[in-house]
Structure 1
């Protein structure tokens, strides 16, 4: 007795069986590669193999299904749309898998460098990897979307017509894409020249903060009060700004004191040195106290102090102010800024002067009373 397999079972079972076999092979190959890379102490390659497993499986399944559809007895009006849909699914899954693998490579090299926020080399490497990672993923996304859309006949015909009229269309598209292209070029320039790096202390639009994130279109600055200032990427290439940690995080700070002329500057200078030596905020590099200006009522003193970074410099300046004011009020309370007044007796011009004879008559009784 012959057993005939139904046609619908063959139609449905062939791609399913092929996909199952392909996924089984992928699992075996993946495990073998992970073991090889683990024994070879290759963490980057091991992470690349582990990442993006789901999109890889989806791409393999779509590719096997697309290849097996040629052997299926499908009508043309069904086979063509189905093949087109599976092809688009394969393109999207492949782009997703490539993006996952590329992201794993960048993340592995970023983690290998060691996380040290105060290290200039680490911040330089992190900035480059972050910017290039975003640009690469953006390029993969654009290519994936482009190839997926070109699989549609309607979109392909539009693309051909655009190439045929490349003059006006190219100008219009160039004007429309100018901000995006400018941001991409600015991102590449920042990654190469690095006027800013992640973690840098900057002053932008009169606001002090740290570079928190660099994307392909904008930069996020974390301000001192936890606000976020979002700045276009091209701003740092077109406008001046202050970068306090461009070469080194070390920084100099100043404290201004306004005191009376009678204050002993030498004693204040000695007290400043004592304050700095007794606080861990000072990095021990440099300090000074100088008379920088003489005003009408006060003498201006400037204390210059050094610190290891901008945040520590702020705390050190506040500490020096508090201690110096405390020293002045305790030791030299009269040397604080004050107003000087010189009282001069001015005769009352509203009273008429006395007559000569009356003034002499008034003086005689007074003289007699004094002799008596």
Structure 2
């Protein structure tokens, strides 16, 4: 079969005998590579990409065929052209560089295939996590796996890119000799590279630590510099925090290992919020407590577990009533607290306005010094008493 293939190539070259041999060889090589690449793409597109079935295996095969089609075409066509070069009438000065270029294409196609495979596997796993989690904010385990998969996928992609480029460069003789000379002075080179790329290496190592220990996860709510922020993206060297007003903050990964911060969704998304009311001493605490129970129980944001009403403080003018109520997420906790404030203020205004803080004063004067003045004191509701 090999001899028949070579004889066919020679016959095709004979059809273009009026052209220089190198030109004919390059033309035949290009046509052969294009044909092999087209056939490979046709097989992947018409065959594997149309595998029937909705199960996980069928979906994985179809997605893999679409994602890996280009690197597969490049690798198969390069191999076919390398095998064909000895059968062509091509000068050694031209055949050597072309074979070298095709070998580099094979290395790059393999690296591209590995990178796309890692990204494809991560995407399929993330889809399963999203399908399994009903509530993204409360699905702590799902967000944990999501953070690990994305960080590891980015680290794997960076390593594959470095190794692929290094393998491609090592096919060149001058670069290979330079690499061997670097190995001889590895100690000094490692020190220089370490100082030059200290920040990059620090964040890469911090990314690996965060993937394992997970002080933050995708979707976590973090109190950062007095703002509510959500972890929108975790890259290999930095984290994107989205504030409540859509601002984005870019923070190095090493910050979350070197500085303390508040993670409001570390073990659970539930949060207990507090509302403070400053009322007069005449406020009917028991009536207010019963009304607050009805307000909280009727609110859909309440988690049904945490609730209390207590007189937390008092001074010479007012008392402070603290209302605590739990919600399933921090955002719902904010909405719950706003609803409590709005409804209880309206109820106090309509039913017991004397509960609002009042200003009292008392003026005393001596009748001996001021015979025309009498002592003035407050009435029970703070109104002055006149003679």
* TM bin (shorter chain): 0.7 to 0.9
Does the CA-based 8 Å contact 2:40-2:76 persist in structure 1? no
Report the count of equivalent residues: 350
| Residue of 145, 161, 164 corresponding to 1:141 | 161
Using the size of structure 2 for normalisation, the TM-score is 0.82
Q: Distance in 2 between matches of 1:342 and 1:329?
A: 26
Bigger radius of gyration, 1 or 2? 1
2:65 to 37, 49, 52: 49
Alignment correspondent of 1:301: 321
Which residue, 5, 8, 13 being the options, matches 2:28?
Answer: 13
Write the deviation string for residues 173-226 of structure 1: whole angstroms up to 9, x where unpaired: 122233222222222221222211111111123221111111111111111111
* Stretch moving more, 61-70 or 37-46: 37-46
- Out of 332, 342, 347, the residue aligned to residue 312 of structure 1 is 332
Between 1:237-246 and 1:153-162, the stretch displaced more is 153-162
User: Is the Cα contact below 8 Å between 1:307 and 1:313 reproduced in 2?
Assistant: yes
1:157–1:306 Cα change, 3 Å: same
Q: Hey, what does 1:109 align to over in structure 2?
A: 125
Partner SS state of residue 95, structure 2: helix
2:43 is matched with 28
Change (3 A) 1:47 1:344: same
Structure 1 position 107, deviation (Å): 0.8
**2:32, 2:81 within 8 Å by CA — same for their partners in 1?**
no
Trace 1:145-224 onto structure 2 (pairs within 5 A). Answer: 145-224=165-244
TM-score of the superposition, structure 1-length normalised?
Answer: 0.85
Secondary structure (helix, strand or coil) at the match of 1:284 reads strand
Judge conservation of contact 1:44–1:109 (CA < 8 Å) in 2: no
Q: In 1, Cα distance between the equivalents of 2:359 and 2:334?
A: 31
Runs of 4 or more consecutive aligned structure 1 residues displaced over 6 Å after TM superposition: 347-350
Output one character per residue of 1:100-140: Cα deviation in whole Å (capped at 9) or x when no partner. 12211111121123154132222122111111111111111
Structure 1 spans left out of the alignment, 5+ residues: 351-372
Question: Considering only aligned residues, what root-mean-square deviation do their CA atoms show, in Å?
Answer: 2.7
Is the CA contact 2:233–2:240 (under 8 Å) kept in the aligned structure 1?
yes
Question: Deviations for 1:300-341, whole angstroms, at most 9, x for unmatched residues?
Answer: 111000111000000111111111222222222222223221
What residue is the counterpart of 1:258 in the other structure?
278
Residue 64 of structure 1 pairs with residue 84 of structure 2: no
1:33-57 residue CA offsets vs partner (Å, 9 max, x unmatched): 5566848751334422331211221
